[in-house]
């Protein structure tokens, strides 16, 4: 028996080897608990140094909503300002935070775990998966607070509120695909990590977080259609549809959002997998 055959018979894998895609996904599924435990431990580690601990999970989006609410309350007017402005803004900010968390942290999924990547043989795709799992854990108290705030602000509770769960699940799949893409690109082009905050800010302003895009762009139908095809806008619009009384998301959002999620997830997974053998060589 050759020396190279010994690791295989012992159940070990060669670091940096790229297996067939189907086998890669099967191994990823078998090791899914690794990603979940890594996500949980990283979440706890990020909160322990702070005196307020878990409260920061909800304080950050809440403080952002207050700041934007105060600023744009005096700026917005006319058709660009939704009737239920405060509720509209809170839902937008809270849901957008889910994307930015996955996008920003996902870009560092490989580069922030260099020693782990270079030392052990495992599907590297588990690292961006753990990032999105961590952000999903963070969303649990955020969504609970969102429900409380909407009730306090006078939104009638409805069975449609339960639809926010599959809405966030679909957005989570989209976020996961995005994390796959930026995680791979950042390995060889670290400058991408510097661009992530800029891209996030641009997406914030073009996704209708604090203004009604239908009212603001009513006279520009082509531009309005382009904005409606923005997947971030679509998921936020659907969340507003199921949570806010009197708000209806465009039909295009209900149709295109799941398509975006599926295409981004599958395309991102393949894109990430194709560079699997190079991640162990990152520096």
Q: What is the mean pLDDT of the chain?
A: 85
Cα–Cα distance, 79 to 121 (Å, whole number)? 56
pTM for this one? 0.87
Which one of 37-41, 80-84, 170-174, 217-221 scores highest in mean pLDDT? Answer: 170-174
Q: Where is average pLDDT lowest: 71-85, 217-231, 245-259?
A: 71-85
Residue 189 has phi, psi (to 5 degrees) of: -125, 85
How many residues are present in the chain?
283
Domain boundaries, the chain: 18-276
Q: Give per-residue pLDDT as tens, 116-160.
A: 887 777 889 999 999 999 999 999 989 999 999 999 988 999 999
- What percentage of the chain carries pLDDT values higher than 90? 47
Show the tokens assigned to 160: 């449609």
Q: Give per-residue pLDDT as tens, 157-173.
A: 999 999 999 999 999 99
Of residues 219 and 265, more confidence is placed in: 265
Q: Give per-residue pLDDT as tens, 24-54.
A: 999 999 999 999 999 988 887 776 665 555 6
Cα–Cα distance, 200 to 178 (Å, whole number)? 12
Contact, 207 vs 236, CB < 8 A? yes
């Amino acid at each position: 028996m050759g020396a190279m055959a010994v690791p295989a018979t012992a159940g070990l894998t060669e670091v940096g080897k790229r297996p067939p895609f189907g086998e890669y996904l099967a191994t990823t599924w078998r090791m899914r608990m690794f990603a979940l435990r890594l996500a949980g431990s990283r979440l706890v580690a990020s909160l322990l140094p702070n005196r307020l601990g878990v409260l920061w999970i909800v304080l950050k989006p809440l403080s952002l909503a207050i700041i934007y609410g105060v600023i744009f309350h005096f700026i917005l007017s006319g058709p660009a300002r939704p009737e239920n402005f405060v509720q509209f803004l809170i839902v937008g900010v809270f849901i957008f935070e889910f994307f930015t968390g996955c996008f920003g942290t996902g870009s560092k999924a490989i580069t922030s775990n260099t020693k782990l990547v270079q030392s052990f043989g495992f599907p590297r795709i588990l690292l961006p998966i753990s990032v999105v799992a961590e952000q999903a854990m963070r969303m649990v108290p955020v969504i609970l607070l969102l429900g409380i705030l909407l009730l306090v602000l006078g939104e009638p509770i409805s069975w449609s509120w339960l639809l926010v769960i599959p809405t966030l699940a679909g957005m989570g799949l989209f976020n996961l695909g995005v994390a796959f893409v930026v995680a791979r690109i950042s390995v060889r082009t670290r400058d991408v990590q510097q661009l992530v905050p800029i891209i996030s800010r641009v997406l914030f302003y073009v996704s209708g977080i604090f203004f009604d895009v239908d009212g603001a762009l009513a006279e520009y139908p082509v531009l309005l259609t382009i904005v409606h095809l923005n997947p971030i806008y679509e998921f936020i619009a659907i969340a507003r549809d199921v949570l806010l009384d009197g708000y209806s998301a465009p039909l295009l959002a209900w149709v295109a959002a799941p398509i975006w999620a599926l295409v981004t997830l599958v395309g991102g997974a393949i894109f990430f997998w194709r560079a699997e053998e190079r991640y162990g060589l990152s520096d």
